[in-house]
Structure 1
């Protein structure tokens, strides 16, 4: 991997009310935090969709572009999402979001999407849960 790879952990928390809190954190290999963010989104169909939205534009990938990070390692604790992105096997439910992720991926010089265990994804998890329990929400775009 390039020496200047920025790690981005993403996570989502979903409720049966079809509301999701999403969170992301960017850090370098020395665990120095560059940026973190979270938001809540209404009308999210499933936990897997919430995980995909956490990574998609207007969220982690857009933030990486905004910060001019060109070498990024996106990490999710959703094995199903990491597998879908890696294999480019897109379910009907996730097709549009995963196509957005694929398109946005082309704007980076180096990009990897992989699974990370929940124990190593604590900050993104906390951000997502805090967002889910907040009162402000945004429409799904």
Structure 2
């Protein structure tokens, strides 16, 4: 039908970019069948300046599906900026109803700790930082029978998209 802009996947709503990415139930089912890759990153300069966070969501063919960036209130360390970027990424994906996601990041302190703790009771401690609280939040957000969230450390050179977005944020 000429001029019909009904979604060709679900036939239920007007086909817009917003509908296809965030609302179309058929598209969500397809996206949830294949694991997604999420690369969050934080950018930090000082405890007095706002930090930047950025993220990119890739499909199984390594194509960017979604990306975003933001400025956040000042935090005490680069590790806290990284942790906040990861925490926000998990919250965003849970809202979008993604259930199988691998999060890749370039912070050894964060990703090594989270990957060890995500399948155990969380007993994260560290002197002189608020980051253990962020890490506990991340582990708690990633838990649940319906979620298959994995965490893996990668080299900074493999996280350039999220790093660039965080610096812009």
Q: Which TM-score tier does this pair reach, normalised by the shorter chain?
A: 0.7 to 0.9
Question: What's the offset of the Cα at 1:95?
Answer: 1.8
2:33, 2:158 → 1: CA distance? 21
- Structure 2 unaligned runs (5+)? 1-31, 118-123
Matched, 1:34 2:65: yes
Match of 2:80 in 1: 49
List, as ranges, runs of 4+ consecutive aligned residues in structure 1 with deviation greater than 6 Å.
none
Question: What's the offset of the Cα at 1:86?
Answer: 2.3
2:125, 2:99 → 1: CA distance? 25
2:136, 2:49 → 1: CA distance? 22
Matched, 1:91 2:121: no
Matched, 1:117 2:155: yes
Match of 2:42 in 1: 12
- TM-score, normalised to structure 1's length? 0.83
CA contact (8 A) 1:72 1:111 kept: yes
Q: Residues 28, 87 of structure 1: CA spacing in aligned structure 2 closer, same or farther, 3 A cutoff?
A: same
CA contact (8 A) 1:38 1:127 kept: yes
Relative to its length, the structure with more helix (as a share) is 2
Q: Residues 90, 18 of structure 1: CA spacing in aligned structure 2 closer, same or farther, 3 A cutoff?
A: farther
1:5, 1:36 → 2: CA distance? 17
- Structure 1 unaligned runs (5+)? 132-141
SS of residue paired to 1:15: coil
Matched, 1:22 2:53: yes
Relative to its length, the structure with more strand (as a share) is 1
Question: What's the offset of the Cα at 1:62?
Answer: 1.2
CA contact (8 A) 1:9 1:25 kept: yes
Q: Compute the RMSD of aligned alpha carbons.
A: 1.7
Aligned residues: 128
SS of residue paired to 2:126: coil
- TM-score, normalised to structure 2's length? 0.70
1:110, 1:90 → 2: CA distance? 25
